[in-house]
Amino acid sequence: MNEPSDSRRRFLQRALAAGGALVLSGCDRLSRIEWFAGLLASAEKLTYASQRLLLTRRAMAQEFSEADLSPFFRSNGTSNPRDPAYQALAAAGFADYRLEVGGLVAHPRSYSLAELKALPSRTQITRHDCVEGWSAIGKWKGAPLARVLEAVRPLPSARYVVFFCADPMNARGQRYYESIDMEDAFHAQTLLAYALNDAPLPIRNGAPIRVRVERQLGYKMAKYVMRIAVVDRLDDIEGGRGGYWEDRGYEWYAGI
Ligand SMILES: Nc1nc2c(c(=O)[nH]1)N[C@H]1C(S)=C(S)[C@@H](COP(=O)(O)O)O[C@H]1N2
Ligand SMILES: [Mo]
């Protein structure tokens, strides 16, 4: 049988990441331990097909009901970007906002907020976990990033999607940025979100557009997204490790 060894390697990497998540997460602990132990015991014998089945079972982040919503979705990190251009956009209700989408794509283009809202939308109630030790459940609505990527057509060399944000983080004017791989980028729950809890996304939570990438930790979910670039490598962007916090020691793959 011809089993692609790349897929197996990726699968095992994910399995190890899932094992690590046991330490972090109290939720569903028993079933995860059983799942992981079973995985270790059988990993050598798994065929590619059954690997895909296991992946599919674990593919969606948990979704919740309205009754689970946190009364208030707190803000963390930047709560109002200190950037004159951003402040001008906000003062005009983001009427002049354009999301630039380019890099290794066949058809680079930009989107107004109205154009993003006109795309088919997805709504999901999910739990946000910040490494600083808090969680919140919120209801997000947005355009799946997959729809935008389909429109711009990533080239075969595309490997990552990078989000460039409006907020300067320090005196040198360095801005927040983040990146995800193509699997997360095309995931059904990965959104360019413009609404939180049935209201327009507040500035403190990333208006006008913030990323939701629900199988990842909070710092991957870039707020104030101004530009998206499809790239084949991360080491020549900003600090070279794929994100503002990654450049300061956080893991790039924050998946659970
Ligand atoms: N542009 C930008 N995105 C960001 C941050 C930030 O400071 N700037 N903070 C990150 C962190 S650490 C978390 S936990 C979440 C917080 O999102 P919230 O403000 O909606 O709670 O946004 C992430 N995305
Ligand atoms: Mo965070």
pLDDT in tens, 201-220: 999 999 999 999 999 999 99
Q: How far is the CA of 69 from the centre of ligand 2 (A)?
A: 19
State residue 18's pLDDT score. Answer: 47
pLDDT in tens, 22-48: 444 444 444 444 544 555 555 544 554
Mean pLDDT, the chain, as a whole number? 86
User: Which DSSP category does 204 fall into?
Assistant: G
Distance (Å) from CA 206 to ligand 1 centroid: 8
Ligand minimally distant from the alpha carbon of residue 75: 1
Amino acid at 54: L
Domains observed in the chain: 61-248 (3.90.420.10)
Return the higher-pLDDT residue of 255 and 55: 255
pLDDT of residue 13: 54
Please state the atom number of ligand 1 nearest to the C-alpha of residue 206. Answer: 20
Mean predicted confidence (pLDDT) in 114-141: 98
Residue the block writes with tokens 């193509």: 182
- Distances from the Cα of 123 to the Cαs of 36, 175, 222, in angstroms? 30, 28, 18
Query: Model confidence over 60-70: pLDDT tens digits?
Result: 999 999 999 99
User: Is the minimum distance from the CB of 177 to ligand 1 under 6 angstroms?
Assistant: no
Q: Report the pLDDT value the prediction gives residue 193, as an integer from 0 to 100.
A: 99
Q: Which ligand is nearest to the CA of 137?
A: 1
Residue 203 corresponds to which amino acid? I
* CA gap 221, 161 in Å, rounded: 12
Which of the four pLDDT bands, split at 50, 70 and 90, describes residue 255?
confident
Beta carbon of 77 within 6 Å of any ligand 1 atom: yes
Confirm or reject: Cβ of 140 under 6 Å from ligand 1.
no
pTM over 0.85: no
Amino acid at 224: Y
55 or 97: which leads in pLDDT: 97
Query: Helices 5-24 and 29-42 meet at what angle, rounded to 10?
Result: 150
Tokens of residue 215, six digits: 């199988």
Ligand showing the shortest atom-to-Cα distance for residue 128: 1
What is the pLDDT confidence band of residue 254, given thresholds at 50, 70 and 90? confident
**If DSSP codes are grouped into helix, strand and coil, which group holds residue 244?**
coil
Q: Is 29 in the pocket of ligand 1 (CB under 6 A)?
A: no
Block residue for tokens 């990033």: 145
Instruction: Please say whether the dihedral angle defined by the alpha carbons of residues 90, 91, 95 and 98, taken in this order, is positive or negative.
Output: negative
